[in-house]
């Protein structure tokens, strides 16, 4: 039988640092998701409406970033680019890597929404003289937002949890802070138990907020948890 005494009292003074790390994790997730969503919207539009060469380029981008590990992609940005004279901070490298990776996945997710558009609505937009950009903005994107908000929300939650890899590059997000604190206190069970609870709290709060936004703004069918 293991003889271990939990001493969470030793962890209490470090809670502000863990909370700061949670804020950094959310910052990474929000910024990379928004950047990836923009890339995904452009990519999905090009895959749907552009010509063969452009579609192949977007297809190569999606194939590369969805078939290689995100960690390897960030390793390339952080360690390989300096050999080419491009030096990125650890936060910037992680943010850029997560954004490019998210853009590839969100391109595929949003392409499904683009392809599910109602042809009658597109024909009506053409009769009204809408340009292609106006059709995307006023007809397709509202439809995509309503239909794809749940899977987009799920992807954001996965990205929030995926920010833990930033600790590998010295970013002091939640996991990075936990590792630093553990190296001082050596109370691994307590530290990582609290860290896990904080991740659960962050994802539950984010899920609740996304559910409220989805049901009230986009009228999407959302489950709270």
Q: At 216, list the tokens.
A: 């009230």
The CATH number of the domain covering residues in 15-216? 1.10.3720.10
pLDDT on residue 54: 94
Mean pLDDT to the nearest integer, 100-104 = 97
**What letter would DSSP give residue 138?**
I
pLDDT on residue 221: 66
Lowest mean pLDDT among 45-54, 133-142, 207-216: 133-142
Query: Cβ neighbours of residue 161 under 8 Å, at least 6 residues apart?
Result: 199, 203
Domain locations along the chain: 15-216
CA 10 to chain centre: 33
Q: What's the whole-model pTM score?
A: 0.88
Is residue 224 predicted with pLDDT exceeding 60? no
Q: At 90, list the tokens.
A: 């650890």
Mean pLDDT to the nearest integer, 81-107 = 96
Q: Are 44 and 110 in contact (CB under 8 A)?
A: yes
For 114-164, how does the pLDDT look when each residue is reduced to its tens digit (9 = 90+)?
777 767 777 777 777 888 778 777 777 777 777 888 889 999 999 999 999
Q: Are 93 and 169 in contact (CB under 8 A)?
A: yes
Which of the residue ranges 50-59, 67-76, 106-115 has the most confident prediction, judged by mean pLDDT? Answer: 67-76
Where does residue 170 rank: exposed (0-12), middle (13-18), buried (19+ CB within 10 A)? middle
Query: Pick from 210, 212, 177: which is nearest to 11 by CA?
Result: 177
Q: Cα separation of 36 and 59, whole Å?
A: 16
């Amino acid at each position: 039988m293991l003889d271990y005494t939990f001493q969470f009292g030793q962890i209490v003074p470090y809670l502000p640092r863990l909370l700061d790390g949670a804020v950094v994790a959310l910052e990474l997730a929000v910024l990379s998701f928004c950047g990836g969503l923009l890339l995904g919207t452009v990519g999905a539009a090009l895959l749907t409406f552009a010509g063969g060469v452009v579609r192949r380029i977007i297809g190569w981008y999606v194939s590369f970033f969805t078939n290689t590990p995100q960690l390897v992609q960030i390793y390339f940005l952080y360690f390989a680019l300096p050999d080419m004279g491009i030096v990125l901070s650890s936060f910037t490298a992680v943010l850029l890597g997560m954004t490019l990776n998210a853009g590839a996945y969100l391109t595929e997710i949003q392409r499904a929404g683009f392809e599910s558009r109602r042809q009658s609505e597109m024909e009506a937009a053409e009769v009204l003289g809408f340009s292609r950009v106006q059709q995307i903005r006023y007809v397709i994107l509202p439809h995509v937002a309503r239909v794809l908000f749940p899977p987009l929300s799920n992807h954001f939650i996965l990205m929030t949890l995926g920010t833990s890899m930033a600790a590998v590059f010295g970013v002091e997000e939640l996991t990075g802070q936990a590792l630093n604190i553990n190296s001082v206190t050596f109370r691994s069970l307590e530290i990582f138990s609290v860290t896990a609870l904080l991740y659960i709290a962050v994802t539950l709060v984010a899920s609740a907020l996304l559910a409220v936004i989805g049901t009230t703004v986009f009228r999407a069918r959302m489950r709270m948890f």
